[in-house]
Structures are given as C-alpha cells and as structure tokens.
Structure 1
C-alpha cells in the first residue's frame, strides 16, 4: 500500500518536475530569480522615458508591462519583480546579448544586421529617419545639409544613414555624435549643430517639449523608408520569444491597443502634458492587425 501511495504521489509530481526541468534560457532565469529585467531609455519620448519622479514610463514600457504579466502567468508565479536598467543606444544591444536585461523597451529599429546579435518581437511602431533644425536656417532637404554640422545619436541606424548619405552625396557634412537623444537635440538648441538626424516621431516629441516648439521644423525629405520598431529580446531563445510574441500579438490585435496608442500619441502626456498629435498610420494599423517581427520595411 505504501509503495502504491508513493507511486501515485510521484506521478502527481512528475508533470511539475518535468515542466521545471524543461525551462531553459531566459524563462529559467526569470523563474529562478523571480525577477524580469527591463532595459529602459531615459529620453525616447513617448516610447520610453523618465517622468518627474524618475520613473520609466511610455508606450513601449506599457507594452513591456503586458509582456511581464504574460511571463508571470506562463511561469505560474504569484509575484514577479521588475528590475529597470537604463540603457543608451550604445549599450542596449550588449546588455541584451550578455543577459543583463531580458527586454529592451524603447524605440529600437528592427533590422537584419541587428538580428545577427539579438531578436525582436512583433513591431510596435513604424518610423522614418529625418532631421530637425531651426526654421530660421531654412533646412528642409538632405542636400541642404551640405557643409553643415549635423549630429546624431551614437549607436543608432540614423547615424549610419547620415554617414552613408554624406559620402554618397559628397555633402562634406561635419558629423557629430551624442550619447542620447536629449543631448543631441540640445546641440541644435544651443547652435552647436545645425541639424539632428533621428526617427521622425522622436524628433517631433523633442521639438514639442522644447522651450520654443515653434522655432523648429522637421525635414520634408527622409533618409529611409518607414522602419519597424520592436521590443528587443535575447537571440536563440525560442521558448522566451514564443511567450513574448504571443503576448504582444494578443495585445496588438485587441481593442486595448487603440486605447494604448491614443494614450501616448493623441493625448496630453507627462510630465509637461504635451500632445504629440500623431494619428496611427494605415501601415501601423495593418501591422497591429497582422503582427510580424519582419525587419524589412517593404513588409509594411
């Protein structure tokens, strides 16, 4: 009888034991530590930035909160602590690659080159690379930057596009780099640079939150086709990616996504109650209805 009872108890426990043993990679790390590590940006408005209290907030941060909830449910955890780590354009990929952070929640372009080092979940925004400058300088097209001093943020695709356009068009631009978007915009604001090359929506938010929004304008010519933003996750971790992909797909296809978008792009946002007034594009609506992690701009 004792042996039969032992066999019965063992049989009941085996599914749980097998489940625990099957966990690998990021899910195993999160399960064992009870913590999910999220990389946040400090000035990527409205995707990931700090409020007046220094708390990370934004459109991408809300998406990552939904992902964290899905991971918590998947692992059957009663509690899941969230650890935030501030990242920059230069540090975000290394910190994902070395396992310091599990998710990078911001405004990171998903492209084939980056997919050699990291993976991405479904696209949460589409943006094109443009430049912002002071209206008084009358700079609207890329060729207008000839002989000018132009800044971009270090470690971004925008910097690469600027350098390539400078060489291809023989513009003789003095290219400068900044550690983050806020620092780059400040260089334009203080006339240390004539223009700042970055994703159009980020430029719009920086100009809108400046001391004199009316003094700035975005270029009418872009350096690129609309490119996808994605939440960055570790490479070669299919189990974790499956959970994140399912969580984002469920969110994007639900009515909640319209409310979430309106909250950050069509409503006053903290800390200055600015309204970016950027309606959802037809391409982004399509991407939400049919979630994809494709890095190819042509897919959208």
Structure 2
C-alpha cells in the first residue's frame, strides 16, 4: 500500500472535484510515481490510500509515516530539506499578494499598517513576517488554515491583501465571482521558487524510483502535455482556465530535471 497526501484547495496542483476526489497536476505526477513503484516491486496491484494534508500537517504526517508522498504545492527549500526530501521540480512560483483593485495597492510597502492574510505553515507567511520586520511595516498578519481561507479574507474585506504563491493567487482570482476586481502584485516577496513532490528523508531507494519516474515524464513530451492540461485548458469542476503558459525556466527544468532547492539554479538558458 502507498499513501498519498493531497490538498483540498491548491488549484490546479491538488484539490477536490465535485465528487470530493483529489485531482490536479501534482496528483497526476504522483500517479506516475505510483506506477513506477508498482513496476519496481513487480506487483500486480498497488493499493493507493488518499489522506488530506494542510500546510501545517504535511511535513509531520510525512515524517511519522502516515503518508508516503505529498502531492500538493510545496516549495522545496533548504529549511524543509532538514526534515524531508523532494523529487524533481515540477513548477516555479514566486510569493506575491492579491488585493482588490479598488484598494490601489501595488507594492509591498503599500501594505504598511494594514491587515494581510497568509496561510499558516507556508513559506509565504514566513516571507511576509520577515519583510514586515525588515521594512518595519507594522502589518497585522492574519494566519489562515487553508489557502482558500486566505483569499476569502480579501474577498470579504477582513484583509486588504493575501500573500501566497502567485499561481495559487491566479487560480483563486480566476475562480472568484468578480475576477476583474482583483490584481496580483508584480512586486514579489521572493525569487521564483521550486515546487516538488515531497517524500520521506533518507529513503534512498524510494527517491531513486520517484526521481527516475518524474525525469522520464518531464523529458518526454508527456510532461508538457500534462502541464497544458492543467494550466492552458479548462479544468474541472468549474471550467476555469488559468491561461498560464509554461515559462522558459520550467521548460529548461523539464529538459534537465533537478531537485535543487536553490532559486538561482533555475535560470532559463
């Protein structure tokens, strides 16, 4: 048996459809890893269990063996590598904020003295906290349990902004009642950072299989097709289209797969 950790609102990576079934780009990648494990172990069938995780529970549940793979929108960074491992990078994103256009906020400094939401246990809330202290902004940071809650706080005017990965912000804006009412900052809290599928630290054999499966997927044309399915076409359940073409950095990463946590290593050649 293999247990997959999934997210309920990380569109289009890992989220629930109308039947409460986890779907998404990261879920599809994990299916390829599961296939490879089944082949490696020469099993006729490999039972897959699905277990929900949040930003705060994903690392503890992986560390204590509740889940074997975390298929979501998790940034690979040196801090996390002390506790877990990642397979090859499948996306690059930067931390930005979303706000209502009517608020007329464009830069991070514009958030001075205001209430801003971000999800607990994420690199986003960490970067927001660091920027707040470093720039002496006096922001009132409101921690949310899940990404959808962070965005809801902006929708309902409990916060002027929500700080998350830009691609997640784009998905919430696209899915909102009034997409034209929102703007995502060009000002970023971070360089583009890599997402990876998380697995247990020190499980060398498992990582070898996961790395080989993801590298084969990205280097074949199938990786690009899978990307387009989730980022360039209408996706269930609401028929959203994120219209986010693959960038040159990620294209280069797919050609030469890497599990590096260093944002500077993902330069487009």
TM-score, normalised by the number of residues in structure 2: 0.98
Residue among 78, 84, 96 paired with 1:112? 78
**2:234 corresponds to which residue?**
268
**Distance in 1, Cα, partners of 2:164 & 2:140:** 16
Alignment of 1:160-171 (within 5 A): 160-171=126-137
Q: CA deviation at 1:289?
A: 0.5
How many matched pairs? 266
**Which residue matches 1:100?**
66
Q: 1:200 aligns with which of 154, 163, 166?
A: 166
Partner residue, 1:279: 245
The aligned counterpart of 2:208 is 242
- Alignment partners' CA distance in 2, 1:141 and 1:280: 26
* Structure 1 unpaired stretches of 5+: 1-34
1:230 is aligned to 2:196:
yes
Separation of aligned partners in 2, 1:97 and 1:294: 20
Partner of 1:54: 20
Among candidates 241, 245, 257, match of residue 223 of structure 2:
257
**1:45 is aligned to 2:11:** yes
Shift of 1:81: 1.1
What does the per-residue CA deviation read over 1:52-78, in whole Å, with 9 as the maximum and x for residues that have no partner? 000000000000000000000000000
Q: Compute the displacement of 1:36 (Å).
A: 0.8
Higher helix proportion: 1
**Take 1:149 and 1:178, find their aligned partners in 2: how far apart are those partners?**
12
Q: CA deviation at 1:258?
A: 1.2
Partner of 1:29: none
Pairwise CA distance, 1:220: 1.5
SS, match of residue 113 in structure 1: helix
- Quote the residue 1:5 is aligned against: none
Corresponding position: 1:213 with 2:179: yes
Flag as ranges the 4+ runs of structure 1 deviating above 3 A: none
| Max Rg structure | 1
**Aligned counterparts of 1:81 and 1:135: Cα–Cα separation in 2:** 48
Question: What are the Cα deviations for residues 166-198 of structure 1, in whole angstroms up to 9, with x where unaligned?
Answer: 011111100110000011111110000110000
Question: Can you give the 5+ residue segments of structure 2 that lack an aligned partner in the other structure?
Answer: none
- CA shift, 1:140, in A, is 1.2
Pair 1:138-2:104 in alignment: yes
